[in-house]
Amino acid sequence: MQKKWGAALLVCAALFMGTRPASAAEEIPKHIYEWVQSTARQGYYFNKEQIQYASDAHGYIDLTKIVVPTLRIYDNIQIQDVVSKRRWRMLPLNGYSDLTGAAEYLLIDLRAGVVHVTAHEDLDSHWGTLSREENTKELTLSSLSDRDVEKKFFDAIINYAVGHQEEMIRRSRGILSDADRAALEKKKEKLAESADNTPEKPAKKDKKEKKKNKK
Largest separation between any pair of C-alpha atoms in the chain:
82
User: The pTM is what?
Assistant: 0.77
Determine the Cα–Cα distance for residues 142 and 145; give it in Å rounded to an integer: 8
Stretch (H or E) spanning 63: strand 61-74
The model's pLDDT over 26-54, given as tens digits with 9 standing for 90+, comes to: 467 888 999 999 999 999 999 999 999 99
pLDDT above 60 for 24: no
φ, ψ (nearest 5 deg) of residue 157: -65, -45
How do the domains of the chain map onto residue ranges?
A: 2-176
Q: What is the pLDDT of residues 63-97, one digit of tens each?
A: 999 999 999 999 999 999 999 999 999 999 999 99
> What's the pLDDT score for residue 7?
42
Backbone φ and ψ of 38, nearest 5°: -135, 130
Mean pLDDT over the full length of the chain: 85
pLDDT at residue 215 above 60?
no
Query: Is the model more confident about 130 or about 184?
Result: 130
| Span 174-193, pLDDT tens digits | 999 989 889 888 888 887 77
First to last CA, the chain: 60
- Inform me whether the pLDDT recorded for 213 exceeds 90: no
